[in-house]
Amino acid sequence: MAYSEKVLDHYENPRNVGSFAKEEEGVATGMVGAPACGDVMKLQIKVGKDGVIEDAKFKTYGCGSAIASSSLVTEWVKGKTIDQALEIKNTQIAEELALPPVKIHCSILAEDAIKAAVADYKKKHEG
Amino acid sequence: MSIDLQQDYFALFGLPRRFDIDEGALEAAFHALQGEVHPDRHAHLPDADRRRAMQWATRVNEAFRTLRKPLARALYLLEVRGVDSGLETNTAMSAAFLMEQMEWREAVEEARAGGEVGELEHLHQRLRQHGRSVLAELQAQFAADDLQAAADTARRMMFIEKLQNDIDEALEALES
């Protein structure tokens, strides 16, 4: 299958690959998996005192579209509040990367990873 | 000879619609049907009949391919029982399971990068063992008719299968 230029760009030069130390202040982790293709995605956000996401990192085992989707959302969430981050929809990710229908689940995975990371943050800081 | 395309795959082979199947009976039923519907047997017939025979043959092959593999059989059985296995939509696997998957993948990646064939073979062995115990879980869940639990286990098996493919691919890459 032919990947779009944007997918290839993120795939070949993924942004923000890596991990934060879990104990680090303001760090929250979202782990999700896509059974359809066996992809696993870890998205971490680092949230400042003002509730704004200062930095994000990801580690994804999966196809080019899954890597591109997670790379893209680490760029998108930076500078957003956690509530703004929750507004990112998989359709926006799919559109930006021009994902074909069979790869839509990769964008769903990335959206769910954000939700999972924010939920982890809220659990740690509001619970 | 005719085949009812509305029948489910189990009925097609005259097997009870359950997860535990008699593999010998499946194989025997497949070969019997395959002989009946083989395109060569219909070569002398008019176009419309030949096309229909072709459809039957395709159906029989597809049914056999689906039922002989445990994971494909499980997903198919869930589908005909009306349970959405959520392969495309359910991303909320248990955190412990996903963490374990991440660790497996990291181990495979490291072994591949380091050219450690022995380590990859070891991972392959361990994963097969793990796969067998998960399959036993799946069998028990179908036996207890706990279809939601079976769907969850089938989703986990998708990851295990993918991992197994990754290991095979890494081994092939190193050995070539």
Of the candidates B99, B105, B155, which has its C-beta nearest A31's C-beta?
A: B99
* H or E segment to which residue A36 belongs: none
What was the pLDDT predicted at B90?
Answer: 84
**Per-residue model confidence (pLDDT) at position B1:** 61
Q: Report yes or no: A36 at the B interface, CB cutoff 8 Å.
A: yes
pLDDT tens for residues B80-90? 999 999 888 88
pLDDT tens per residue, range A75-112: 999 999 999 999 999 999 999 999 999 899 999 999 99
H, E, C per residue of A82-96: HHHHCCCCHHHHHHH
pLDDT tens digits, A10-49? 989 999 999 998 889 999 999 999 898 889 999 999 999 9
Which of A58, A60, A61 to substitute to test the interface with B, most B CBs within 10 Å?
A: A61
Q: How far apart are CA B84 and CA B42, in angstroms?
A: 38
**In the CATH hierarchy, which fold is given to the domain comprising B9-68?**
Helix Hairpins (1.10.287)
| Calpha distance A123→B2 (Å, rounded) | 60
Contact A69, A11 (CB under 8 A): no
Can you tell me the mean pLDDT for B49-54? 86
Q: Whole-angstrom Cα distance, residue B64 to residue B75?
A: 14
Q: Average per-residue pLDDT in chain A? A: 93
- Residue B104: in which H helix or E strand, if any? helix B95-113
Cα A4–Cα A33–Cα A92 angle in degrees, nearest 5: 40
Just give the CATH number of A5-121.
3.90.1010.10
Using a CB-CB cut-off of 8 Å, the residues of chain B touching A67 are none
Residues A10, A71 contacting (CB under 8 angstroms): yes
Q: Using CB atoms, pick whichever of A31, A104, A108 lies closest to residue B95.
A: A31
pLDDT score at B52:
85
Instruction: Give the model's pLDDT for residue A48.
Output: 95
Which CATH superfamily, name and number, covers B95-175? Answer: HscB, C-terminal domain (1.20.1280.20)
Phi, psi of A58 (to 5 degrees): -140, 160
CA distance A123 to A121: 5
Contacts of B163 in chain A (CB under 8 A): 38
- CATH 1.10.287.110: which residues of chain B? 9-68
Instruction: State the complex-level ipTM.
Output: 0.80
Burial B27-41 (b: 16+ CB within 10 A, else e): eebbeebeebbeeee
| Nearest C-alpha neighbor of B28 from the set B39, B42, B15, B38 | B15
CA-CA distance, B79 to B85, in Å (whole number)? 7
Calpha distance B48→B125 (Å, rounded): 50
Average pLDDT over residues B6-13: 93
Ramachandran bin of A98, using left for φ above 0, alpha for ψ from -120 to 50, beta for the remaining angles: left
Pair of tokens at residue B102: 């991440």
Q: Which two tokens stand for residue A51?
A: 């509730």
Q: What is the pLDDT of residues B89-131, one digit of tens each?
A: 888 788 889 999 999 999 999 999 999 999 999 999 999 999 9
Query: Any residues with CB less than 8 A from the CB of A54 and at least 6 apart, and which?
Result: A26, A46, A47, A48, A78
| Ranges in chain B annotated CATH 1.20.1280.20 | 95-175
Give the nearest partner residue to A35 out of B87, B105, B109, using CB atoms: B87
Nearest residue to A34 via CA among A101, A120, A111: A111
Please, where are the H alpha helices in B38-116?
A: 47-68, 70-80, 95-113
Determine the Cα–Cα distance for residues B103 and A40; give it in Å rounded to an integer.
11
Identify from B91, B93, B158 which residue to disrupt to test chain A contact, counting A C-beta atoms within 10 A and taking the largest count: B91
pLDDT value for B49: 84
Which sequence positions of A are flagged as catalytic? 37, 106
